[in-house]
């Protein structure tokens, strides 16, 4: 099943996992919880005990006014929904949610309110500067 994996501190990526409860549990590191915070036919699958286990905070969930109402702890998946089960995430939704969760977030409590600060995306496969550097005078 093609899913979008979102790990704390990293950009999301498409991956393939076997269908079934065991592979979903392995992906999130424990018992799963499915939540449905979006109008699209998708589920967010996370570790049900992630916050209690002290897993790292990952991404915030926002209400219609842009306020944080929850924070997902640990790895989570975005999966597609069929009439009876979880299924492949369609390519257009893979792109949509990949962009939505593109930036890792750090969290802080300021004046009693939790804020999320989006972090820059770093390309782990980024090539070194191809321009040769030299210390001699220009000719």
Q: Tell me: the pLDDT tens digits for 60-75?
A: 999 999 999 999 999 9
Q: Which residues of the chain have pLDDT under 50?
A: 125-136, 139
> What pLDDT sits at residue 121?
79
pLDDT value, residue 19: 82
Whole-angstrom CA distances from 70 to 15, 57, 58, 59, 129 are: 25, 10, 11, 9, 40
Its pTM stands at: 0.85
- The CA distance from 32 to 128, in Å, is 40
What DSSP designation does 49 have?
T
């Amino acid at each position: 099943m093609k899913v979008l994996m979102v790990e704390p501190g990293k950009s999301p990526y498409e991956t393939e996992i076997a269908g079934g409860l065991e592979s979903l549990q392995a992906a999130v590191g424990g018992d799963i919880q499915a939540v449905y915070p979006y109008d699209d036919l998708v589920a967010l699958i996370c570790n049900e005990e992630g916050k209690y286990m002290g897993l790292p905070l990952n991404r915030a969930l926002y209400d219609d006014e842009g306020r944080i109402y929850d924070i997902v702890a640990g790895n989570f998946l975005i999966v597609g929904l069929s009439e009876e089960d979880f299924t492949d995430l369609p390519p257009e939704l893979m792109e949509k949610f990949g962009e939505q969760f593109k930036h890792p977030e750090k969290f802080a409590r300021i004046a009693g309110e939790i804020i999320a600060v989006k972090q820059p995306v770093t390309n782990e496969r980024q090539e070194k500067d191809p321009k040769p550097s030299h210390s001699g005078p220009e000719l």
